[in-house]
Structure 1
Amino acid sequence: MKVNITGVQIDKYSFEEVVKIIVDYAIIGSSPKYVVTPNAQHILTLQEDIKFQEIYNNAFLVVPDGVSLLWAAQFLQKPLKGRVNGTDLFEKLCEVAASKGLKVFLLGGRPGASEKAAEVFQARYPNLKVVGTYCPSYGFESNAAELALINAKIIDAAPHILFVGLGAPKQEKWIHANYQQLNVPISVGIGVSFELVSGMVQRAPLWMQKHGLEWLFRLIVEPKRLWQRYIVGNPLFMWLVLKQKLGLSKF
């Protein structure tokens, strides 16, 4: 079951269902697959980026990271089952991986973020098998030697789940270009989650998370980096949803 939000097909699963689907596949994993976690920014990028659309069309799961997608689905009278926040998904999958003996690899983030996130989770879940962390050099996507090194590290580590924190749409494009060669059962793009878990970037208080205000907190904490995404992007997203509601678009 999927919900169409401005032409993007979002899977209608609860957080718990998504975790189970990913873990079950990571254990069986007959062929490599990947998961995307859209928010309003993704939706806007998808309106014009043909390659990004292709990546979404071939994803194993498309799960709603942004609370704006829940609001949009409700407004369109096609409600989703709940938010699948990327950072929460990262933590829960690591928790379950520890209990199931699954291996994980952390790629991306700011220098030191993936290593610190791994330390945090290994302290929390002592049985967690983190088989590798790596922070690519700036501009790695244009560096053949760095790309080959990244792939070699992941292939040698042979994780069941690969977490990629490179920001959108870079992380999704990198995953799509490499996931078949890497042969990791499940790859998941999780944005800034390494920084949030490691404490490099402060996460919103729980009450703001529960009330869908995490975006506002992030805007306050990092205004220079995020003002365009939220101040400009959110109204544009709302306009697309309104057009869909009124039948003024082809979605």
Structure 2
Amino acid sequence: MHFTLKRQTVPVNVATWASLEARVAERFARREGFALATINLDHLVKLNTSPAFRAAYAAQDFIVADGNPIVWMSRMARRPVELIPGSEAILPLSRIAARQGVKVAFAGSTAQALAAAKAYLEREVPNLEVVCCIAPPMGFDAASPQSVKILKEIEESGAGLCFVALGAPKQELFAATGRRVAPGVGFASIGAGLDFFAGTQKRAPDWARRYAVEWLWRMMANPKRLGLRYIKCFAILPGQMLRAVALRVKGTGA
């Protein structure tokens, strides 16, 4: 499945949980890095307007579907993919890392949240070793020399996997730079996932996720911050759905 933007085509190139886990395990076994992005409608909006974000996405090795609209459109195109939210990938990837002796780093959020997330994950995942926790200051520029310094610190810690909790587009820009600066580290962009474990942010309840209305729950909880974002997402949805139908009719696509 792929999504066509104004100047770029973005593929969802890892369709299932099983495929993601196998590909990550293979990279760990070879001690090779990667960058993992989780595409959703908000990312599509940003990709249409930001050349820097498009360049960062082009540097991602693995792209999965994070958002039910992405999954629904893949089915419309007859290129079905599974829902793989970044926050839900943390535990599976941590278990793979622990089994293969890969150390873990965190970048993003706050020092308090990272400490709590570290305690939670090391308790939940036997043999997991979180060796580096870095909370960049407010106003952190993911394309700055400071970013390179942080990436070098992560590399020197011996971590082979870094969960990046900076939010889009910062986390994808950070991961893209990481592929160049620290090529042996796998960077997984996971949004607020570590904050959920730490309890510093509240995740949507099970019923909202079950009925695919997590977005509505979030918007009602924070309408000033998210209202305009979701309006922009809904605005691009009809065009993307038409493209999905076109893929189905033509019988082509990635």
Task: Give the TM interval when normalised to the shorter protein.
Answer: 0.7 to 0.9
Say if 2:103 and 2:131, in contact at 8 Å, map to a contact too.
Answer: yes
Matches within 5 A, 1:1-251: 3-6=1-4, 7-30=9-32, 32-80=33-81, 82-141=82-141, 146-147=146-147, 149-230=149-230, 232-245=231-244
Say if 1:5 and 1:72, in contact at 8 Å, map to a contact too.
Answer: no
More deviation in 238-247 or 193-202? Answer: 238-247
Question: Structure 1 residues 162 and 148, CA, compared in 2 at 3 Å: closer, same or farther?
Answer: same
Q: CA deviation at 1:149?
A: 4.1
For each residue in 1:177-225, what CA deviation from the matched residue of structure 2 results, as whole angstroms up to 9, or x when unmatched? 2332123331111111111121111112223223322222222333332
Q: CA deviation at 1:61?
A: 0.8
Q: Distance in 2 between matches of 1:41 and 1:4?
A: 16
Q: CA deviation at 1:246?
A: 6.7
Say if 2:165 and 2:171, in contact at 8 Å, map to a contact too.
Answer: yes
Q: What percent of counterpart residues are identical?
A: 24
Q: Secondary structure at the match of 2:12?
A: strand
Amino acid at match of 2:53: F
Question: Structure 1 residues 126 and 5, CA, compared in 2 at 3 Å: closer, same or farther?
Answer: same
Amino acid at match of 2:35: Y
Task: Say how many residue pairs are matched.
Answer: 243
More deviation in 102-111 or 147-156? Answer: 147-156
What stretches of structure 2 of length at least 5 have no aligned partner?
247-252
**TM-score normalised according to structure 1 size:** 0.87
Q: Distance in 2 between matches of 1:5 and 1:200?
A: 33
Say if 1:52 and 1:169, in contact at 8 Å, map to a contact too.
Answer: yes
More deviation in 89-98 or 233-242? Answer: 233-242
CA RMSD after TM alignment: 2.3
Question: Structure 1 residues 137 and 143, CA, compared in 2 at 3 Å: closer, same or farther?
Answer: farther
Amino acid at match of 2:95: E
Q: Distance in 2 between matches of 1:207 and 1:183?
A: 40
Q: Distance in 1 between matches of 2:189 and 2:30?
A: 20
Say if 1:136 and 1:146, in contact at 8 Å, map to a contact too.
Answer: no
